[in-house]
Structure 1
Amino acid sequence: MDVNRIVAEGLRRSVEKSGLSQGSFAHALGTSPTRFSTYVSGEVSPSAATYVRAEILAEAIADAERRGLMTALDAARALREPLRRRAEPDAWRMLLQGRDHLRLLLESGDGTAWEARPQSCGDRRWDALLAALAEHEFSSAGQQPPRWTERARLSEDWMPDHPFMSPERVRRQTPEWLAERSIFVPAKDLVTA
């Protein structure tokens, strides 16, 4: 019995189950596509923890998909187009929809699908905001936030344009957990119906 072959087949099944490309799955798992390719080819065997994590992550991503709920991967992907078009209201809707889907997953007791590390949405400020929201939701639910949310604060303050509030008022109404990352958004703008 060739253990490397069995492990490689299991990893290929995990990629297939996740619905992601092999490279995207590797990134979501937190490893490089090149390294993951050595696992899938059977050249190198991953640690048992990596193998088990791949199975669990694939199942969680597939389950979120079956339930029609966004993962961090989906949220980052959904942000790309409106940000490219400079349609920030659409980006906000996608961001908050993703956050609300995370809440639903956490309320059901399993936010594992959000442990998958997302690709960049193309704007480091929005990447940091997505990470901050996810970290806050996991912490509020009493769960350990995923590693990808532990991003350093932005090097410069970011305050998205606000149509009704002065910058001083936005700063005063920004939750501390966002201000710590140099992101300034009033708490009321984070509320969804």
Structure 2
Amino acid sequence: MKLDRDTRKVTAWLDRALADSGLTQAEFAAALGTSPSRFSTYRSGRTKPTAAFCFRAQRIAQGLAATRRARVMSAPVTAKIIRDTDDEDWAWRMLLQGRDHLRMLLEDGDDTVCAWEAAPPSTGSAGFDTLLAVLTRREFDQVGVEPPAWCEPRCLPEPWIPDHPFLTREQVIAKTPEFLKELNVFVPARDLVTA
């Protein structure tokens, strides 16, 4: 199939965005909220994406590249680290560090905050997925910036009450903030505070 000049430019633009993102094609497609097969048809020129999709792909890819250079976590990086560890304490630390990096970007008005618009892959835990989504949403809400679509948290079907080293199950439930209880996630408020 011979592509016209404009379509070739669009496919080159998307190829560049994919390379800049540092993600695989499947990961980048998911980060943009589309399927790998659909993204593949965009890159081949068989299907023409909207201009908005192209601009979003470029903006998010540039944000992901900038956060990598600055060694700042994004939502996909945070989720991947959580998924790849067997150490639950490390997973908690990385979740909070990712949230703190987002907070810093938002407070500084940094343009690379668009890296957090990239939908993360699953952490491998519905509880951590929900917690990452709700904490991300709260950070965006607190500065009056529209949160990304991916961080619309969904209530878990069953309560998620991670083991706590010092508190009983009942104490964890009692010390959990309402915004988490509504989602069936039970984590004491003090465990969400970082120094």
TM-score (norm 1): 0.94
1:128 aligns to what?
130
Query: Counterpart of 1:107 in structure 2: which amino acid?
Result: E
Residues 43-64 of structure 1: CA distance to partner in whole angstroms, max 9, x if unpaired? 1110111011011111111111
> Which residue of the partner structure matches residue 100 of structure 1?
100
CA RMSD of aligned residues (A): 1.2
Matched, 1:116 2:118: yes
SS in 2 for 1:15: helix
State how 1:1-193 maps to structure 2 within 5 Å.
Answer: 2-82=5-85, 85=86, 87-109=87-109, 110=111, 111-193=113-195
CA distance in 2, matches of 1:186, 1:151: 18
> Partners in 2 of 1:172 and 1:144 — Cα distance?
31
- Which residues of structure 1 form unaligned runs of 5+? none
Runs of 4+ in 1 over 6 A off after TM superposition: none
- Return 163-172 or 8-17, whichever deviates more: 163-172
Identity of aligned residues (%): 51
Cα distance, 1:141 vs structure 2: 1.8
Distance 2:68 2:182 in 1: 33
Q: Deviations over 1:57-112 (max 9, x none)?
A: 11111111111100000000000122xx2x21111111111111111111121421
What TM-score, normalized to structure 2?
A: 0.93
Count of residues in Structure 1 that have an aligned counterpart in Structure 2:
190
3-state SS of 1:171 partner:
helix
SS at match of 1:80: helix
Per-residue deviation, residues 114-171 of structure 1 (Å, max 9, x unmatched): 1100111111111111111111111112111111111311011111111212223222
Distance in 2 of aligned mates of 1:4 and 1:103 = 38
- Distance in 1 between residues matched to 2:166 and 2:20, nearest whole Å: 46
Which runs of 5 or more structure 2 residues have no equivalent in the other structure? none
Note if contact 1:72-1:117 (Cα within 8 Å) is conserved in structure 2: yes
